[in-house]
Structure 1
Amino acid sequence: MSRIGKKPVEILQGTKASVIDDMLVIEGPKGKLEYRMPSVISCETKDGKLYFAAANSIKTTKALHGTSRALAVNMMIGVTSGYSKTLKIEGVGYKAAVQGKNLKLNVGFSHSVEYAIPEGIKIDASKQVELVVSGIDKVKVGQVSAEIRHICPPEPYKGKGIRYSDERVRRKVGKAVTK
């Protein structure tokens, strides 16, 4: 049995959790999230808590046991308070703007880059050099942030590019000129 999977998940006030077949559904003030559990993991609700159980003690089943519980906790937090990630854009003339369902980035290419914002994700670009990606699904928020960062990752010489707000870019020294 997984040590993490053994711990029950407390159903937060203002949220509802239900298990229908293999589907865990969590509803809260910010929205509704669903997770299809693996067939070897079962879940039940009692006394305001979610309990997860593994069908056997195979190594992969133990891993899925802990993962399922961790995803349920992330879903619970997501529907109550949500998740957000902040990205910073550094470079001369580098900026971002939200136009309808697209994010328009000017990041040093000869053309502007358009990124389609997925359903369930909100991007705030009120400051042109700072993006705030937010939503109720932790995985989706992280994935969208990584895709935006991948468009123009920070380079080590001048530090230009898109980076996470808490990311430290390791700088390199440029080519030395000898006399």
Structure 2
Amino acid sequence: MTRSISLLLISFCLFFFLTIYATANDKSSPYEEIYPEIGYKTVEAALEDFEQHFKQKLKLPLRVPPISFTHHFGRFNDLDGDINDSFEVTFINDQLPENHYKINVRPIKNNIPLREKYVVKTFELKNGSVATYMTISGFNVLVFERDDWQYMLSIDKRVSDKVTPETLIDIANSIDY
């Protein structure tokens, strides 16, 4: 459990570092080069890898936050065993580093336990399930479960005036199709 939380925090820190580094370093490689070097590919290709690995379809939200993005990438994290395997989609803006949003999905049986100290509020989704809104390492995160998956929708805190908890709830509810 602690390992899963550590991996999540490392993932957030790595993502944050890459975003800041690519923005601050004028001579850095464009995102089209940086992200594939660390395992990202098209969302569709990563989703296919994830679904084949778990032999189950995954529904993604139809909505995204109402901020601009210039790039989106997907990655299937296939680590030792299944316990830390996950799917992620990253949306970024190469001109506005605060505009980054991430979807992370893993099987419920290997979920990341929620720590009370990060919980801000809970909400009820359209389908009756509970969604937990938290703040973790510079991100606002909405965590919920559906169809055997744990979803984590993460948005940079710097855009919290534009992407509210209610916006994340609307995004979570857009999976009902």
TM > 0.5 between the two? no
Q: TM-score when scaled to structure 2?
A: 0.27
Q: Which has the higher helix share?
A: 2
Larger radius of gyration: 1
Q: TM-score when scaled to structure 1?
A: 0.27
